[in-house]
Amino acid sequence: MDRSMEVMEKIGQRIERIKDILPEYIGYHQKEYIADSDRLLRHHLAREMEKYKRSLQLVREKLSLEGGITVADKLQDTILRMEKLEHEFRSSSYETDEYKHLGEISEDKLEQVYNYDIALLDHIEGLNSATDRLDELRDSPESFKRAFSFLKEALDNLEEQFKRRGHILRIS
């Protein structure tokens, strides 16, 4: 099998994996669907971020009531960061002249974009477990600290993947 066939097969597998989460997702291989697929993915990420942010706000409220003001303040900073990222997901748009280039996107770059989409979906799901763990570990300061570090790292990774994906979509 030549390289081109191999890449297209991998891309097909990635699209199917994404469709498991977002059934309406079509992908970027046809120019007329690029904007819709991009918007669908970003709005899914924003909805998930909003959900995890609400969970974190509940943990923060519980900690405040329990006297963990310092920790609650650190959580507030993270909540604000989540809000900013949620806003970026909702408001970022590649629906400009850059889309004209995507009709010509190389297979390698197309594969990279799909890899970033999958990474974003994986990282956003990682936030779910991180926020759940924080609530469970409120009474264990050392474990809570590790879980909070994991949450911050998950946010870092999510943000980095989103930036890299945007870079590919803009310069392709």
Angle value at C-alpha 14, between 31 and 92, nearest 5 degrees: 50
What totals of helices (H) and strands (E) does the chain contain, helices first? 6, 0
Q: Would you state the structure tokens that stand for residue 94, as one six-digit string? A: 């590649």
Q: Which stretch of DSSP H or E encloses residue 92?
A: none
pTM: predicted TM-score of the whole model, two decimal places = 0.84
Condensed to tens digits (0 to 9), the pLDDT of residues 139-154 reads 888 888 898 898 999 8
Lowest mean pLDDT among 11-25, 132-146, 147-161: 132-146
Give the mean pLDDT of 26-32: 79
Confidence class for position 12, pLDDT limits 50, 70, 90: confident
Q: What CA–CA distance (Å, rounded) separates 44 from 56?
A: 18
Provide the CA 5 distance to its chain's centre, in angstroms.
Answer: 29
Q: Which amino acid is at 125?
A: E
Whether 121 and 21 have beta carbons less than 8 Å apart is answered as: yes
Whether 139 and 36 have beta carbons less than 8 Å apart is answered as: no
Confidence class for position 96, pLDDT limits 50, 70, 90: very low
| pLDDT at residue 172, rounded to an integer | 45
pLDDT-above-90 percentage for the chain: 34
86: which residues sit within 8 A by CB, 6+ positions away? Answer: 46, 49, 50, 53
